Structure 1
Amino acid sequence: MTLDIHTRPMTAEAFARFGDLLEISGAPDKIINQGQCGRFHDRARMDFSDGRAGISLFDAKPRTLPYRLEMVERHPDGSQAFIPMAHQPFLVIVAPDEHGVPGRPRAFLTQPGQALNFFRGTWHGVLTPLHAPGLFAVVDRIGAGDNLEEYWFDTPYMVVS
């Protein structure tokens, strides 16, 4: 038995309680590079209890919908940004915190060109590209200690479009 979760389009408003949606919208904050580049400045609230920000590269295998969700994770000591390095949508799963455990998950489909930053302590699914290549730059906390907490659901969810 599984419980169904229907995906919805990723919007800044729908995602606001879980993190920052990183996308180009509106006019750039500044024009740089001899007038050839618009800078959309400071789009993510990076937050670390200690350590430092680091950039890693993740090469994830693509998944398909329907997607069986059995586990979510969170990072209590730092935010985590997923920045796709291909112009493809990906699946984002988040869950509200309910007294230290995840509540009912929500699923979003990004648009090509969107990236995101999970707030520190946000329950979320693993990196879930839907197309190859699943190459992402990930900005997160580099430091001592275990910054990962997993939660396995008693009854899995099925994410459907």
Structure 2
Amino acid sequence: MTDRVQTEPLTSSAFAPFGDILDASGDPDRIINQGLCGRYHDRARLDFGPGGRAGISVFRAETRALPYRLEMVERHPEGSQAFLPMSMDPFLVITAPDEGGMPGCPRAFVTAPGQGINLHRNIWHGVLTPLSGPGLFAVIDRIGDTPNLQEYWFPTPILVVSNN
């Protein structure tokens, strides 16, 4: 495991093993509303386990800065989790592959303005980390009564640094 991770831009190909990018890039799939609205259709694979349902919540997270000290990642075995910023400000997205039930080497992505993400079910990820205010997000995830959170605390914190 590394003690330092460098950020990278959030791109569809780099993020594909972990989830979906939610944005309005490229041409819309459909033009609707009397020709005044482009619909970017079905951009995320929402996946909720049995006994749960999709819910929309609003999160307000404290802003952070780079370098960032990564101490813990978590995952949700019963459902995907989508984060849609309610501003055009970038945020830090940290993910890690699963290696035998534990997180592997983390990757750190910085979103572009207007990008949101959907983390697939059971993907290790860091906590919500806005890089500037207001840190307000719409979150679509599983609502249910069964446990849906696993945390992993790194023995030694990992420093996430800017690639600039």
TM-score over 0.5 for the alignment? Answer: yes
In structure 1, the partner of 2:35 is 35
**Deviation readout 1:81-105 (Å, 9 max, x if unpaired):** 0000000110000000000000010
Which amino acid counterpart does residue 31 of structure 2 have in structure 1? I
> Where does structure 1 lack aligned partners over 5 or more consecutive residues?
none
**Deviation readout 1:108-142 (Å, 9 max, x if unpaired):** 00000000000000000000000000000000001
CA RMSD of aligned residues (A): 0.9
Scaled by the length of structure 2, what TM-score is found?
Answer: 0.96
The within-5 A match list for 1:135-146 is 135-146=136-147
In structure 1, the partner of 2:130 is 129
- Any idea what SS the aligned residue of 1:70 has? strand
* Matches of 2:98 and 2:138, distance apart in 1: 26
* Matches of 1:133 and 1:33, distance apart in 2: 31
* Matches of 1:21 and 1:98, distance apart in 2: 23
The within-5 A match list for 1:7-156 is 7-50=7-50, 51-156=52-157
Offset at residue 16 of structure 1 (A): 0.1
Structure 1 stretches of at least 4 aligned residues deviating more than 2 Å after TM superposition:
none
Which amino acid counterpart does residue 75 of structure 1 have in structure 2? H
Offset at residue 32 of structure 1 (A): 1.0
Which amino acid counterpart does residue 135 of structure 1 have in structure 2? L
> Where does structure 2 lack aligned partners over 5 or more consecutive residues?
none
* Matches of 1:22 and 1:57, distance apart in 2: 17
Scaled by the length of structure 1, what TM-score is found?
Answer: 0.97
Aligned residues: 160
Offset at residue 144 of structure 1 (A): 1.2
**Deviation readout 1:38-65 (Å, 9 max, x if unpaired):** 0001000000112110000000010000
* Percent sequence identity over aligned pairs: 68
